[in-house]
Amino acid sequence: MMHIDLISRERADRAELFAALEDTGWRCVALREHPYRRTFEWSVEPHTLLYQEVPGLGLRFLAHDGPLPDEASRWAAPISLAQSALEPWKLTLLGESEDPSRELIPLALDDDPGVYRVILRQALAPEVRRPILEALVDRFGQDTERGAFARAALRAMNPSDEARALAQAAEVPALGLLAALREAFHGGDAWLTLAVGDRLLADRIQISEIFAMRGEACRQLGRPWSAAVDLLIARQLTAEGAEVEPAWATGALEALGGELARADAPEGVGPMPAEALRHLMEASPPHTTRAVLETLSALPHGQPWAMVAHRAVLALADRDRAAAVAAAREALAARPEDTTTMAVLALSVSWDRDDEILTRFERAWESHALAPDEVPTALMQLELEVQAGLTRAPVEADSIGDRALSYLEEAWRRLRRGPVDDHDDALLGVAVTRFAVDLERVAERRLDALKARGLMEELTSFGEEAHAALPWSIEIGLTLGIAYTMLEEHARAVETYGRVIAHAERDRFTSSDDPNVATCYFNRACERALTGEREGALADLAEAIRGRRAFADKAATDAHFDALRGDPRFDALCRGEVERRRAVIEGPLAPIAEVLIGAAEAVPREVMSDALRRANRGEAPPPTLARMPGVPEALSSLTRLLSHRDLLLEGRVTLELYAAGEFEFDQALAKLAPAIEQAVGGQARR
């Protein structure tokens, strides 16, 4: 169980707390700089204490897995959050309080759009929760995330037609959803039409009829902007394909357009709410979203800057850089302080290493220069070439020029600060989903631009800053290590690669999981070979080859390893001869895996594959395996786990790939373990 306490003492001194902890045996073992917070990890066997600061908000928290130390307890507020493996976060109040919600309302109303999630989206008693929700409704409008959430939460606390419709829609079998939608719509039940339509869209069933019916339901419920979004999506889908638009949809859209355009528009129309815009971005098929945004931008009260900013994100996701740049500049002219739009502009004008790799790969594929079995090696080779800086020539000057660097620097600064308001926060969520517009990607682009310009001192300076802020980023650490290698600063290069590898090991990433981890091992092997660390070089090279077989061929001709030539161990590594390590498997699958992996190692692959297929059919395993202790039970348990609806397809495909010899049995189970843990954990929480 992990507990979190908010620090409420106004003049609480961090240095005083740390000194008190040290005096009682605690030791600070790590400092992690995240984009919006700073975390100090303290440890004394067997407990861990995390001290977290959110500088921009003036908030501080203590997270601990055991009793709060006496040295820290006098700092804690009468507010505590707790989480267990099978439960969501729960918020409780400590001590006596006549009005406990009074402690929480100021935090829920904080200017930062993310703080209220920590407070409000928890399991609170209704008498505490209701005053907070009412305060949010008073402060924030329907067009903000907090306002929309608070209104929805209050509706959920009060039985209503909406709650009735949601419960009724949840009972409809998946195969009967479309029929239920038509029945609800033609029966005049707008709330049920909306609820069933949402279930269909959540299952990615995107046809014009669903959007049209949902749009008309929204119009009847007094949600004109949501209605406009759905009806326009329906019309665009009809224009793009063979679907027939319902006859009544055109009239409904025209009437709605007139209503939105009227100077005396009814109360509640106003600017387009973030909720309607978020629905467009999440529910609409990608190829229709930009066209719908164009139409919405022309409507009065349509908040053109918001539409344009979202168009910039979509254009970037579609690799339409010119359109993304134009839209981002237009949006920034209206709202120059936006964080997300500045990040989109920076990523649109800067050189995209991944895009170059993809373009070069597509050309090789189209020219039939690659056979299917050569694809993994070809992609890895392209990545190695780009990492080594061998593709500077094709880079356009503008994409690594002063303007691009200036935009990337500003985007980095703004993303570290965070979104400026709810609209910016919602847009950032879309940008992260559609194109991974985040601090890490901006840092990677800036490092690439500095490298292509040959500004190595600036690269290492910013690289250290970025790696300190994002220590989990293997990509950033690898780029920084390569820079030190190019500068022949061997000690720093070894230390940087070591940091990346240590963090990867802590997160349980191996050279087999991530090609960049394998590259870190290979590069550190090169550095160690140059500096005379023979044993370390051989160990690192073995781990690199264990992750990517292509490193064996590369080592055979790489001059960095000249000092190792003639060593029988090095010659064996160049032939790809490495001892394979069994994959580490954790979570619910671990005890099952321990039994089945041992069995798989004792029988031919076809026998284990046959046993897995038999178990899926409910049949007993072959006699060889049936006689092994625990194997029949483990096969049955694995089959039950993989029968979960979220695992059915992935499980069968993965085990068939094992049968085909694509990877070993422990590797197959290691690939399934995270998905199984997520599915089982989600089922337990429900």
pLDDT over 90 at 496, yes or no: yes
Residue that is last in its domain, among 151, 173, 199: 151
Least confident piece of the model among 216-220, 304-308, 370-374: 370-374
Provide the pLDDT for residue 452: 85
- Whether residue 479 contacts residue 463, with contact meaning beta carbons closer than 8 Å, is answered with yes
Q: Percentage of the chain surpassing pLDDT 70?
A: 72
State the average pLDDT over residues 476-489.
93
- Whether residue 153 contacts residue 136, with contact meaning beta carbons closer than 8 Å, is answered with no
Residue 561 belongs to a domain with what CATH number? Answer: 1.25.40.10
Provide the pLDDT for residue 535: 94
pLDDT over 60 at 56, yes or no: no
- Is residue 11 located within the same domain as residue 36? yes
Place of tokens 């985040």: 438
Q: Which residue has the higher pLDDT, 233 or 384?
A: 233
The distance from CA 427 to its chain's CA centroid, rounded to whole angstroms, is: 15
Provide the pLDDT for residue 61: 65
Assigned domain for 316 exists: no
Residue type, 39: T
- Reading the block at residue 104, the tokens are 């929480």
pLDDT over 60 at 647, yes or no: yes
- Is residue 522 located within the same domain as residue 593? no
- Is residue 404 located within the same domain as residue 464? yes
Distance CA 518, CA 277 (A): 42
Please write the tens of the pLDDT for every residue from 554-610: 999 999 999 999 999 999 999 988 877 777 788 888 899 999 999 999 999 999 999
Q: Percentage of the chain surpassing pLDDT 90?
A: 26
Element (H, E) at 68: none
- Whether residue 371 contacts residue 352, with contact meaning beta carbons closer than 8 Å, is answered with no
pLDDT over 90 at 341, yes or no: yes
Local confidence band at 338 (pLDDT 50, 70, 90 cut-offs): very high
Distance CA 642, CA 587 (A): 14
- Is residue 168 located within the same domain as residue 141? no
The secondary structure of residue 630, as a DSSP letter, is T
> Which are the contacts of 338, defined by CB distance < 8 A and separation ≥ 6?
309, 331, 332, 420, 424, 427
Assigned domain for 346 exists: no
Assigned domain for 235 exists: yes
Residue that is last in its domain, among 151, 185, 219: 151
Assigned domain for 484 exists: yes
State the average pLDDT over residues 543-558.
88
Provide the pLDDT for residue 115: 53
- Is residue 187 located within the same domain as residue 60? no
- Is residue 543 located within the same domain as residue 405? yes
Provide the pLDDT for residue 513: 64
For 149-179, give the secondary structure using H, E and C.
Answer: HHHHHHHHHCCCHHHHHHHHHHCCCHHHHHH
Local confidence band at 365 (pLDDT 50, 70, 90 cut-offs): low
pLDDT over 50 at 636, yes or no: yes
- Is residue 142 located within the same domain as residue 218? no
Assigned domain for 24 exists: yes
Assigned domain for 334 exists: no
- Is residue 593 located within the same domain as residue 562? no
pLDDT over 90 at 55, yes or no: no
- Is residue 402 located within the same domain as residue 474? yes
- Is residue 453 located within the same domain as residue 428? yes
Alpha helices (runs of H) in 92-144, residue ranges in sequence order: 101-108, 115-120, 126-139
Provide the pLDDT for residue 506: 76
Q: Which of 156-165, 322-331, 661-670 has the highest mean pLDDT?
A: 322-331
Burial pattern 143-169, b for ≥16 Cβ within 10 A else e, equals bbbbbbbbbebbeeeeeeebeebbebb
Provide the pLDDT for residue 332: 94
Q: Which residue has the higher pLDDT, 489 or 189?
A: 489
> Which are the contacts of 93, defined by CB distance < 8 A and separation ≥ 6?
78, 79, 80, 100, 103, 128
Please write the tens of the pLDDT for every residue from 235-291: 888 887 756 667 667 766 776 666 665 544 444 455 666 677 778 887 887 778 878
Burial of 187 (0-12, 13-18, 19+ CB in 10 A): exposed
Assigned domain for 322 exists: no
Local confidence band at 116 (pLDDT 50, 70, 90 cut-offs): low
Residue that is last in its domain, among 98, 128, 151: 151
- Is residue 29 located within the same domain as residue 90? yes
Provide the pLDDT for residue 559: 92
- Whether residue 434 contacts residue 282, with contact meaning beta carbons closer than 8 Å, is answered with no
Predicted TM-score (pTM) above 0.75:
no
Assigned domain for 73 exists: yes
pLDDT over 80 at 335, yes or no: yes
By residue range, what is the domain housing residue 619?
Answer: 587-685
Burial pattern 119-133, b for ≥16 Cβ within 10 A else e, equals bbebebeeebbbbbb
Please write the tens of the pLDDT for every residue from 61-111: 677 666 667 766 665 544 444 443 333 334 444 344 456 566 667 767 766
- Whether residue 517 contacts residue 510, with contact meaning beta carbons closer than 8 Å, is answered with yes
DSSP reduced 3-state for 76:
strand
Provide the pLDDT for residue 685: 39
The sign one gets for the Cα dihedral 229, 234, 239, 245 is: negative
Question: For the chain, what is the mean pLDDT?
Answer: 78
- Is residue 170 located within the same domain as residue 133? no
Distance CA 278, CA 313 (A): 13
Please write the tens of the pLDDT for every residue from 433-471: 777 788 899 999 999 889 888 899 999 999 999 999 888
Domains contained in the chain, number? 4
